[in-house]
Chain A
Amino acid sequence: MKLLFRIFLALTAVALAFAAYQGLVVAPTEQTMGNVQRIFYYHVPSAWTAFLLFFANFLASIVYLLKRNVAADAVAAATAEVGVVFCTVVLVTGPIWARPVWGIWWTWDARLTTTLVLWLIYVSYLVLRRYSTGSQTSLLAAALAIFGFVDVPIVYMTIRWFRTQHPSPVIGGGENSGLDPSMWPPLLWNWLAFSMLAIILVVARYRLQMMEQEVEDRHAQAALQGSEQ
């Protein structure tokens, strides 16, 4: 198992390097924005990966509510935390891209605002898990995750429902939207590489969650033994 993880780790490192090369060198230079448009190859795959992680968190939370399964709770904790990391990348790279292109760092349009709200929801989720004590923590976190996930499709649909400063959708955006075919391979390579990185981080975070659970159980056991003596 350890060997398999190490092989996957090495493959991910190669994929990330190759994907960066694709985004920085192979991808064509966009006509109006120039080289700054290459931020797209980190910004969009990070957003897609964050959405997938929050979806995994949603599914794991449902499983936990139905079965009270400790492993499902650990998966939920892991996917939410890694999802927040990827969502942070989206929220930081977006303004860095916006400043030279729009002339502003931020605007309160529907896409940007709902993305910020999404990040705040999952940060609240992590704060709840971190600072709430007692047996109800996982249950409350699962409920928050299920309601919180409602914002993901809203974020996705905002650029279809509203006129926003944010560019039109890459997929299914109708006429005058979409990507030049030569931009697809760099985009998909970066998404693959970030998804592989996300898998590694989730596996590591899951393992950490289980180890922390073990420490907690041992503390409880020790306290019980102490009170019996």
Chain B
Amino acid sequence: MKGQFALKLAYTVTWVIQLGYIAYLLSRFKRVREELKDFDRGK
């Protein structure tokens, strides 16, 4: 593997991991908000 390719790959993979985690958090937020709304509707 060439150095320049490794550098690009490392920076890209870092952001894929970080952005993937942010997307995972947002999906969990969405689900919890919906559950809380369901509770409020059921009152």
Contact = CB atoms under 8 A, between A and B. Distances in A.
Interface residues of B, number: 23
A208 B28 CA distance: 8
Contact of A100 (B3, B11, B21): B3
A99 interface: yes
Q: Number of contact residues on A: which range applies?
A: 20 to 34
Contacts of B25: 201, 204-205, 208
Which 10 pairs of residues, A with B, have the shortest CB-CB distance? A36-B3, A39-B10, A96-B10, A93-B10, A211-B32, A85-B21, A100-B3, A99-B1, A215-B35, A100-B6
27 contacts: A20-B11, A34-B3, A35-B4, A36-B3, A36-B7, A39-B7, A85-B17, A88-B17, A89-B13, A89-B18, A92-B10, A92-B13, A92-B14, A92-B17, A96-B6, A96-B9, A99-B6, A100-B2, A100-B6, A197-B18, A208-B25, A211-B29, A211-B36, A212-B32, A215-B39, A218-B36, A218-B39
